[in-house]
Amino acid sequence: MHTDPVPRKASEKEEYQRSDSMAEIALPPAEPIRALALTLKEALVAEDKKAVRAACAKMLEVLAQFYGVEPPDIKILNARPLKTSEKWIVETFGDYSPDTARIRLWMRTAVQKKATSYGVMLNTLVHEFFHHLDMVSLNLPETYHTRGFYERVGLLYHHIQDTPVKKIVWRSQSDGTYHVDWGKTMSRSSGK
C-alpha cells in the first residue's frame, strides 16, 4: 500500500494535501451495516454471485444514505476484465468508474482464479465507495490515494468488522510519497 505521487499543479496539490490531512470520517451506526456484512460473508462462502451483489448493493445503499449521497452502482464479476474502454480507477480486486459512478468487484483473482476472501472484498468495497464519496461529496475530484484516504478506509472497514483500528505507520519515501510499514503497523496494533 503506497500513496500516489504528489501532483505538481498547485490546485491538485491543494486537493492532495486536503485529502492527506483528512484522517477522520463520521461512521454510520453499527447496525444494519454489520449484519449486512455478515450476509456478504455468507454469500461469498457459498459463491453465490447474486447474493454477493445484493449484499453489496444493500451495504452501499446504507452507506450512501448515511453520508447523504447517491449510492454508486455495483457490479460483481467472476474475474477482472482484461480490457475496458472507460476510465476506471483500478485496484487489485475492484474498480470505480467516475463517469458512471459504478463499482465493480471480482470474485476471483485474474491469474490464479482463486476466490477473493471476505476481508479483501469488504476492504475493496469500502475503498471503492470512498473514491465515490471523495468525488461526489468531499470535493476531492481527483480522489488521490493519500495517507488520509487509506486511513478513512481503515476506519470504516474496522468499524464494519468490529475490530480494533490499526493505526497505520507510514514510511516516507525520497519522492514525497509514503509506504505502509506493515511490520510496525501490525506490532503497534497488537500492543507490542
Nearer to Zn ion, 2 or 184 (CB): 2
Q: How far apart are CA 188 and CA 116, in angstroms?
A: 27
Closest CA to 162 of 28, 30, 1: 30
Nearer to Zn ion, 67 or 149 (CB): 149
Residue 176 Ramachandran class (φ > 0 left, ψ -120 to 50 alpha, else beta)? left
Contacts to Zn ion from residues 86-105, by CB under 5 A:
91
| Closest-CA residue to 98 (of 130, 63, 62) | 130
How far is residue 180 CA from its own chain's centroid? 16
Closest approach of Cβ 89 to Zn ion, in Å?
Answer: 5
CB of 98 to Zn ion, least distance (A): 11
CB of 19 to Zn ion, least distance (A): 12
Q: How many residues bind Zn ion (CB under 5 A)?
A: 1
Task: Rank residues 91 and 151 by Cβ distance to Zn ion and give the closer one.
Answer: 91
Q: Which is nearer to Zn ion, 43 or 134 (CB)?
A: 134
Which residues does 92 contact at the CB level (< 8 Å), separation at least 6?
Answer: 109, 124
In angstroms, give the least distance from the CB of 153 to Zn ion.
Answer: 9
Q: Where do contacts with Zn ion occur on this chain (CB under 5 A)?
A: 91
